Amino acid sequence: MEILQVKHIHKIYGEKENEVHALRDVTFSVKIGEFIAIVGTSGSGKSTLLNLIGGLDTPTQGQIIIRGHNIAALRRKELTIFRRRNIGFVFQNYSLMPVLNIYDNVALPVTFDKGKHVDHDYICELLKGLGIWDKRKRFPNELSGGQQQRTALARALANKPALILADEPTGNLDTSTTVEVMGLLKESSRRYNQTILMVTHNEALAQACDRIIRIEDGQINCAKGGETI
């Protein structure tokens, strides 16, 4: 059963002489529960792809279908709710709320969603699992980069989203924390049947995933083991 279908996606930024063709005819699909690594050099279009799948930006051409919904066809409000209920994001720049403590940052996506009950036990479990339980009453600027990244990861998991989009989630972490974070992602995906798309530069991490999608110059590189449908 597929959770995600990316169909003939093109993304062009800018106009005329400033045009950047960031993605060219990208097509692939992902089954429920798969853990996928997205690999490629800097500027190859990885973040663009993740942003489009997450509905943070719209493709110039093509379709993205998540759980049967063509996300480009959703109204803005529907998309916001859909995203909140189905997708967990981990960005490179953490994007934590500076005025909220660590616990509240993690609980934020659940708090936002009025239809959902905050699972405090689960949030405690996440904070403990990521080694930031003792920081729960601190504010983001009191934490190291690695601790902030773990907070961002806990926040992405707090909703138990069906689809997790992670843009170099371990980029700022040391080796042992990277291994822990990967373990937590894998454990979470197995427990809740979550699908993960993770951008990484780390070839060893990529090899530990179910499948690797390689992007070069905005295109999927099939020759190197990237896959279309």
**What is the binding site for ligand ADP (CB under 6 A)?**
13-14, 20, 22, 40, 42-48
Write down the least CB distance from residue 96 to ligand ADP, Å. 21
Q: To the nearest 10°, the Cα dihedral for 122, 149, 200, 86?
A: 40
Nearer to Mg ion, 37 or 123 (CB): 37
Dist CA 51 CA 193 (whole Å): 22
Nearer to Mg ion, 47 or 189 (CB): 47
- Total residues contacting Mg ion by CB under 5 A comes to 1
Q: Which stretch binds Mg ion (CB under 5 A): 47-55, 62-70, 79-87, 138-146?
A: 47-55
Identify the three-state secondary structure at position 119.
coil
Residue type, 175: T
CA distance 138 to 31: 38
Residue 195 found at the interface with Mg ion (CB under 5 A): no
Return the SS3 of 50.
Answer: helix
> 176 is in the binding site of which of ligand ADP, Mg ion, none (Cβ under 5 to 8 A by kind)?
none
The phi, psi pair for 142, rounded to 5°, reads -95, 0
Q: Which residues are registered as beta bridge partners of 89? A: 165
Does 48 interact with Mg ion (rule: CB under 5 A)? Answer: no
CB of 209 to ligand ADP, least distance (A): 17
Q: How far is the CB of 224 from ligand ADP (least distance, A)?
A: 15
Q: Closer CB to ligand ADP, residue 42 or residue 93?
A: 42
CB 64 to ligand ADP: min, Å = 15
Q: Which stretch binds Mg ion (CB under 5 A): 44-52, 83-91, 112-120, 207-215?
A: 44-52
Binding letters toward Mg ion, positions 20-39, x by CB under 5 A: --------------------
Segment holding 184, helix H or strand E: helix 175-191
Residue 136 CB, shortest distance to ligand ADP, in Å, is: 31
Task: Please tell me whether residue 200 binds Mg ion under the rule CB under 5 A.
Answer: no
CB 46 within 8 A of CB 199: yes
Task: Read off the tokens for 120.
Answer: 């405090």
Residue 44 is a binding residue for Mg ion (CB under 5 A): no
Query: In whole angstroms, what is the distance from residue 107 CA to residue 155 CA?
Result: 7
Residue 125 and residue 157 in contact, taking contact as beta carbons nearer than 8 Å: no
Q: Which of the stretches 43-51, 72-80, 102-110, 133-141 binds Mg ion when contact is defined by CB under 5 A?
A: 43-51
The closest of 24, 157, 139 to 89, measured between CA atoms, is: 157
Binding site for Mg ion (CB under 5 A): 47
